[in-house]
Amino acid sequence: MVSAMTGGTAHATGSDVRPSAPMSLEASRRQLLVDSLGIMVSAGGFGLVYGLSARAAGFSPLEASAMSIIVFGGASQFVAVGYVLGGFSWLAIVLLTAFLNARHLLYAAALAPYLADQPRPLRAMMAHVLTDEAFALAIAHFRRIGRADVRGYWMGAIISTFIPWNLATLVGVTIGGSIPEPSRFGLDVIFPAAMGGLAVGLITGRRELVAAISGAVTGVAVALAWDPAAGIIAGGVIGPLVGMAVRPGPRDHEREGQLAFGPEPAHEHAIPYVPQRSEHAHDDPSEGLP
C-alpha cells in the first residue's frame, strides 16, 4: 500500500515496510543523460517548427530567438505565435499564456521539498528552465537517488531542451525567411498541425479527452459563426470547464497523482522521497549539491 501511494519500491516483512537502497549519483546521472537523448530530438524538431511559424507570423530572427531564450516554453510560444497571427493584443497574449502555464505550479510544488534548502536566486534560475520534460527528468532523478542534485537538474534541463530548442529556433526562423511562399510547401499548416500534435500528446485520460473534444467543437463553432479569435478563447475556456465536470476515470487519477507527487520511478532501485527537516538540517551546507 505504501509503495502504491508513494510510487516507490518497497519490501515488506510483516508490518515492516522499507524502501530499496537508492541508486548511486553517478549511475543516476548516466540514466539522466540517456533519457535526455530522445527528448533532444523532439525538442529540436518542435523548435524548428516554431522558428518557421514565428517567421511566418512576422517575427525577425532576433525576436524569435529572444522569445525562445526568455520565455522558453514550447506550448506557450506556439500559442503566442498563433495569437499574434490572430491579431490579439500583447496583454491578452500574456494573460492567456500565463493561464496555459498554470500546470507549472504543480511541477514546482512537487520539486519544492527537494530544493527547499537551496538559495532563492538559484531556485529562481532553475524555475526559468522548468519545462514538462525538465520536470519529468528531474523528479525521476531525484527519486532514484533519494535527494536533490542541482547539477543533475541543470544537466537534464539544458541538454535535453534548452540547447536544442534554441538552436533549432534559430535555424527555423532563418530558413523561413528564405522561403517566399510557405504555402507552396504546406508551411501554412505547420502551426495548426503542431498544436494538434501537442494536444493529442496531452490526452491521457477521460477528462482530457472530453475537454479536448469539447474545446475543439466549441472553438470551430464560434469561429465559423462569429470570429476565429473568439473561437480560440471560447474553446480554451469551455473545453477545460466541461472536462472538469466529467467524473474522473482511473487514468485521470493516475495522471493527477503524477502531477502532485511526480512520475512513477522508472528504475527498480528508485525510492520515495520524504523530506524531513530537523534542528541540524543546515549542519552540512553541501547536502543536496553536486
Helices (H), 101-205: 104-115, 120-128, 132-145, 150-154, 163-177, 190-202
Claim to verify: residue 215 and residue 175 sit in the same structural domain:
no
> What backbone torsions phi and psi does residue 11 show, to the nearest 5 degrees?
-115, 125
Q: Above 60 in pLDDT, residue 258?
A: no
Residue 128 lies in a domain: yes
Q: Give the list of residues 6+ apart from residue 126 with CB closer than 8 angstroms, or none.
A: 115, 118, 150, 153, 154, 157
SS3 226: coil
Residue 17 lies in a domain: no
> What backbone torsions phi and psi does residue 12 show, to the nearest 5 degrees?
-115, 135
Claim to verify: residue 42 and residue 97 sit in the same structural domain:
yes
Q: Report residue 248 as a C-alpha cell.
A: 474522473
Q: Give the list of residues 6+ apart from residue 47 with CB closer than 8 angstroms, or none.
A: 68, 74, 164, 165, 166, 167, 168, 169, 172
SS3 13: strand
Claim to verify: residue 69 and residue 172 sit in the same structural domain:
yes
What percentage of the chain exceeds 90 in pLDDT?
25
- In tens, the pLDDT along 74-107 reads 888 988 888 888 888 888 888 888 877 877 888 8
Claim to verify: residue 55 and residue 141 sit in the same structural domain:
yes
- Per-residue pLDDT, averaged over 151-169, amounts to 93
Structural domain containing residue 101: 23-188
Residue 111 lies in a domain: yes
Q: Report residue 199 as a C-alpha cell.
A: 494536444
- Per-residue pLDDT, averaged over 56-67, amounts to 92
| Total structural domains within the chain | 2
Q: What is the pLDDT of residue 153?
A: 94
Claim to verify: residue 132 and residue 87 sit in the same structural domain:
yes
User: What pTM value is reported for the model?
Assistant: 0.61
